[in-house]
Amino acid sequence: MLPLRNAIVELLKKEKVVTDDELIQKLQPKYPDITTKKLFNELLDLEILGLVRVYEIGKGRKRIELMSGSSEVIGEFDF
């Protein structure tokens, strides 16, 4: 199984933009123990690395998008 951070990037390659709720929903089948806290920690790391951008879009909701040129992640993931 791919590390969670790689799975997030792979999913964003396909979807381009998702909300945090959509991201958890799509990751849950392969990562049943995912929590909001785990997701946000991974997103913070990915944002620091310059791979994703996270925007606040309302009360606790986030919009996540892949930064252009951020496709150098190892592995493939099927959703």
Question: Model confidence over 27-51: pLDDT tens digits?
Answer: 999 999 999 999 999 999 999 999 9
CA dist 33 and 20 (Å) reads 16
Q: Which residue segment(s) compose the domain that 25 sits in?
A: 4-66
Q: Does the global pTM surpass 0.85? A: no
Helices marked H in the chain — which ranges?
Answer: 4-15, 20-27, 36-48
Percent of the chain topping pLDDT 70: 86
In a domain, 72, yes or no: no
Q: Is the pLDDT of residue 7 over 60?
A: yes
> What is the SS3 assignment for 19?
strand
Structurally, how many domains does the chain consist of? 1
Is 10 within 8 Å of 75 (Cβ atoms)?
yes
In a domain, 77, yes or no: no
In a domain, 44, yes or no: yes
CATH for 51: 1.10.10.10
What type of residue sits at position 3? P
In a domain, 73, yes or no: no
